[in-house]
Amino acid sequence: MTNGGGCGILFWKKRGVCVTKEEVLRTYFGYSSFRAGQERIIDAVLAGRDCLCVMPTGAGKSVCYQVPALLLPGVTVVISPLISLMKDQVSALLHNGIRAAYLNSSLTPAQYDLALSRMAQGQYKIVYVAPERLDTPSFRAVCARLCIPFVAVDEAHCVSQWGQDFRPGYLKIRAFTDFLPERPTVAALTATATAAVRRDIAAILDLHDPVAVTTGFDRPNLFFGVRHPQSKEEETLAFVREHPGQSGIVYCNTRSAVESVCERLCRAGIPVTRYHAGLSDEERQRNQEDFVCDRVQVMVATNAFGMGIDKPDVSFVLHYNMPKNPESYYQEAGRAGRDGMPAECVLLYSGRDVHTNRYMIEHGEPNPELTPAQAHTVREQELDRLRKMTFYCTTTDCLRAFLLRYFGEETGKGGEYGDNCGNCSNCLRARRLAGEQAAMPEQPDGTDVTDAARHMLGLIAATGQRYGMLTVIDALRGSKSEKIRRFRLDRQADYGALSELSAQQVRAIFEEMTARGYVRIGGGEYPAAMLGPRAQALTEGGERLWVRLPREKEKAAGRKKSAGAAKTGTADAAAPQESELMRRLRRLRMEIATREGVPAYVIFPNSTLYVMCISLPTRRESFLLLPGVGQVKCDKYGRMFCDLIREYLDEQKRNGGTGNG
């Protein structure tokens, strides 16, 4: 690819053919369609419109600036607050075949000069910088000679003094954009920002008539819970033991609590590490890398850890202490489940947390960048947010609805959930609090539809959880409608898998899966079918699903089930072996990641491995259809993973489909 010319050209050309945003998404990022809000932001940026984007963690904010960066000429500058975040982003981009770099204090002078020189030569499409770097003479000198059509401001809430993560360096951004020979398009992106903070962002960055895109704050895959334990340490140990082998973060308010909890988990044999400001820079970095690279299972940390961590497969976030405000809580809890898989966010509450937080607010050192009047206003706002956080911990109402209302999202009659989300501790009570839900008993007069249910989960996962119930049903039944063809659902591995069942039967299965928590409905204006909190229990945990289907079709359902078993070479009891396949896929991924010196999720996230277990690709063509598999990754890793899956299936055949492999 070559640049199309000056800053006015809005795309690259490949052999004389315009490259579209859809081609970029498929080729470099491995996805066939955009998520909610992404396309609108990308189109606005390509049209030269400033943007203010509020999307929940894990909703794909980075794609909103990475895709236009590849379509626009010149260099896109991304302003990011933390070194670790820049490193993770650049590493992921390089593995996707995208030329990118970062400029920050982690580089030696020689490394910095080399990166800056390559930037000046136009060797990068995307350059990440810390806000403090924007006014340095060497950086400005290079930028003054470059075409910089687009500046993206990540974690934009840091620009507002009324936000919980105010960072004075962000005040330099406007001066930088004003300095450039031609003002670039500016996009501000954040996951947590109240209406007041959003207004502040637009004013401080001088956004010109920005396109405002707020996709909602809801994270349907997250379970929210509050517990009031007698012993927090014992509750923490019990909770971690409920998640064997899963990555998780335990947040504590103080260094001493971090040390105590870390020691308790270590004595219990849990692979654990710690992170707080009292450790040396070297130890913090080493411990962070151990967690990110899956050398330890649990990170116990203060709130100093996390904002710059792009680890998508965190399965739980446990708050040992109550945070000072809902913004901090939602941001920290939102580090779970970024891969879209079900995850848990549980807070351990005691009245002492309230007193501790109040003391820290009233006696903490004010921000030196603020005037006394501003400092007083901020303190009063912090106390008000503390009261709201306390109410969250003590209310008997829906926890999810409380959080969404706090961020200005409607949850009443016109909202998605009303007063019951079905996926928080207050809505599910003690049954879901303890994470204990018995498998459904077999119904003698029902039909075992487990295989059909797994096909449904496979299609939902493989298509990014973005299509409604009716579309999912049509695709599973092999519809040849224009809509199915337009969305390329007829190319999915599970397309037509339930063609022998009627639409009413598939709908009955869908509704039963929704009632049992395997599937949930979410997605705002156009509700989408999504993986429920118990999806993995059906695909990897060995649970089975029985549904009363219309009698006239039960035989057909049985034939389909048998046909599916014959196709894969596995018997009806094969599902529990998917976890064995997942372990093998993880092991291969870790070997590759270790060899290349990157975190495992940079190779493939867990969500992609999960779809591999369901769709079982053994050829390059089918591997390329997996979500998160672009052209570059397919070329680099496709053969290794396809060979492993093929060997696994052959092994199952030799063992008669008993899963003894």
Task: Write the CATH number for 595.
Answer: 1.10.150.80
Q: Which residues pair with 318 in a beta bridge?
A: 250, 346
Cα of 566 vs its chain's centroid, Å: 36
- Arithmetic mean of pLDDT, 515-527: 67
For 639, left (φ over 0), alpha (ψ -120 to 50), or beta? alpha
Top mean-pLDDT range of 15-19, 103-107, 250-254, 421-425: 250-254
Q: Which residue's entry shows tokens 């994470």? A: 435
- Residue 161 has a pLDDT of 63
Q: Which has the closest alpha carbon to 177: 188, 168, 190, 163?
A: 188
3-state secondary structure 199-219: HHHHHHCCCCCCEEEECCCCC
Q: Which two tokens stand for residue 11?
A: 């795309």
**In the predicted structure, residue 188 carries a pLDDT above the cut 60:** yes
Q: Among the three residues 561, 593, 628, which one is the final residue of a domain in this structure?
A: 561
Give yes or no: residues 92 and 227 share one domain: no
Helices H, strands E: what count in the chain? 27, 19
Cα of 409 vs its chain's centroid, Å: 20
At 251, is the pLDDT very low, low, confident or very high (cuts 50, 70, 90)? very high
CATH number of the domain enclosing 486: 1.10.10.10
Give yes or no: residues 390 and 286 share one domain: yes
Domain assignment of residue 4, yes or no: no
- Residue 162 has a pLDDT of 58
Percent of the chain with pLDDT over 90: 38
Q: Which domain holds residue 524?
A: 447-561
- Residue 343 has a pLDDT of 92
- Arithmetic mean of pLDDT, 190-194: 76
Give yes or no: residues 227 and 185 share one domain: no
As for how many domains the chain has, the answer is 4
- Arithmetic mean of pLDDT, 184-192: 90
**In the predicted structure, residue 580 carries a pLDDT above the cut 70:** yes
Q: Which has the closest alpha carbon to 183: 381, 18, 7, 55?
A: 7
- Residue 6 has a pLDDT of 42
Domain assignment of residue 107, yes or no: yes
Are the beta carbons of 146 and 134 closer than 8 angstroms? Answer: no
- Cα(651)–Cα(661) distance, rounded to whole angstroms? 6
What does the pLDDT look like over 203-219, one tens digit per residue? 999 999 999 998 877 88
- Arithmetic mean of pLDDT, 475-482: 91
- Arithmetic mean of pLDDT, 389-396: 88
Give yes or no: residues 174 and 261 share one domain: no
Percent of the chain with pLDDT over 70: 84
CA distances in angstroms from 457 to 409, 486, 495, 557, 564, listed in the order given: 28, 21, 12, 17, 15
**In the predicted structure, residue 532 carries a pLDDT above the cut 90:** no
Give yes or no: residues 405 and 477 share one domain: no
Those residues with Cβ within 8 angstroms of residue 106's Cβ, 6 or more apart along the chain or in another chain = 83, 87
Q: Among the three residues 500, 534, 561, which one is the final residue of a domain in this structure?
A: 561
Q: Which residues pair with 224 in a beta bridge?
A: 345, 424
**In the predicted structure, residue 432 carries a pLDDT above the cut 60:** no
Those residues with Cβ within 8 angstroms of residue 312's Cβ, 6 or more apart along the chain or in another chain = 58, 338, 339, 601, 605, 606, 607
Domain assignment of residue 439, yes or no: no
Give yes or no: residues 70 and 156 share one domain: yes
Domain assignment of residue 240, yes or no: yes
- Arithmetic mean of pLDDT, 72-76: 94
- Residue 652 has a pLDDT of 83
Higher pLDDT, 268 or 4: 268
What does the pLDDT look like over 17-54, one tens digit per residue? 457 899 999 889 888 888 888 999 999 999 999 999 98
Report the range of poorest mean pLDDT among 166-170, 317-321, 435-439, 569-573: 569-573
Give yes or no: residues 260 and 329 share one domain: yes
- Residue 654 has a pLDDT of 82
- Arithmetic mean of pLDDT, 406-410: 78
Are the beta carbons of 74 and 87 closer than 8 angstroms? Answer: no
Give yes or no: residues 199 and 231 share one domain: no
Q: What is the SS3 assignment for 320?
A: coil
CA distances in angstroms from 443 to 439, 448, 555, listed in the order given: 12, 9, 16
Mean pLDDT of the chain, nearest integer: 82
Q: Which residue's entry shows tokens 């956080």? A: 389
Higher pLDDT, 161 or 551: 161
**In the predicted structure, residue 416 carries a pLDDT above the cut 70:** no
**In the predicted structure, residue 606 carries a pLDDT above the cut 90:** no
- Residue 340 has a pLDDT of 80
- Residue 431 has a pLDDT of 44
Give yes or no: residues 552 and 582 share one domain: no
Are the beta carbons of 423 and 401 closer than 8 angstroms? Answer: no
At 658, is the pLDDT very low, low, confident or very high (cuts 50, 70, 90)? very low
- Arithmetic mean of pLDDT, 289-301: 92
- Arithmetic mean of pLDDT, 321-339: 90
- Residue 445 has a pLDDT of 44
**In the predicted structure, residue 296 carries a pLDDT above the cut 80:** yes
Give yes or no: residues 272 and 315 share one domain: yes
pTM of the full structure: 0.65
- Arithmetic mean of pLDDT, 338-360: 88
**In the predicted structure, residue 615 carries a pLDDT above the cut 50:** yes
- Cα(442)–Cα(212) distance, rounded to whole angstroms? 50
**In the predicted structure, residue 436 carries a pLDDT above the cut 50:** no
Give yes or no: residues 310 and 388 share one domain: yes
CA distances in angstroms from 236 to 32, 251, 258, 364, listed in the order given: 40, 11, 12, 28
Q: Which has the closest alpha carbon to 168: 160, 176, 177?
A: 160
Domain assignment of residue 660, yes or no: no
**In the predicted structure, residue 167 carries a pLDDT above the cut 80:** no
Q: Among the three residues 372, 405, 433, which one is the final residue of a domain in this structure?
A: 433
Range 478-504 burial, b when 16+ CB lie within 10 A, else e: ebeeeebeebebeebbbbbbbebbbee
At 438, is the pLDDT very low, low, confident or very high (cuts 50, 70, 90)? very low
**In the predicted structure, residue 100 carries a pLDDT above the cut 70:** yes
- Arithmetic mean of pLDDT, 589-609: 88
Domain assignment of residue 626, yes or no: yes
Domain assignment of residue 239, yes or no: yes
- Arithmetic mean of pLDDT, 357-367: 81
- Arithmetic mean of pLDDT, 323-342: 88
- Cα(450)–Cα(560) distance, rounded to whole angstroms? 12
Q: Which has the closest alpha carbon to 645: 608, 604, 615?
A: 615
**In the predicted structure, residue 269 carries a pLDDT above the cut 90:** yes
**In the predicted structure, residue 439 carries a pLDDT above the cut 70:** no
What DSSP assignment string belongs to 214-263? E--S--TTEEEEEE--S-HHHHHHHHHHTSTT-EEEEE-SSHHHHHHHHH
- Cα(191)–Cα(68) distance, rounded to whole angstroms? 20
Q: Which has the closest alpha carbon to 43: 27, 22, 29?
A: 22
CA distances in angstroms from 497 to 59, 408, 544, listed in the order given: 29, 41, 18
Domain assignment of residue 661, yes or no: no
Give yes or no: residues 197 and 79 share one domain: yes
- Residue 412 has a pLDDT of 53
- Arithmetic mean of pLDDT, 166-188: 90
- Residue 373 has a pLDDT of 84
How many residues does the structure list for the chain?
A: 661
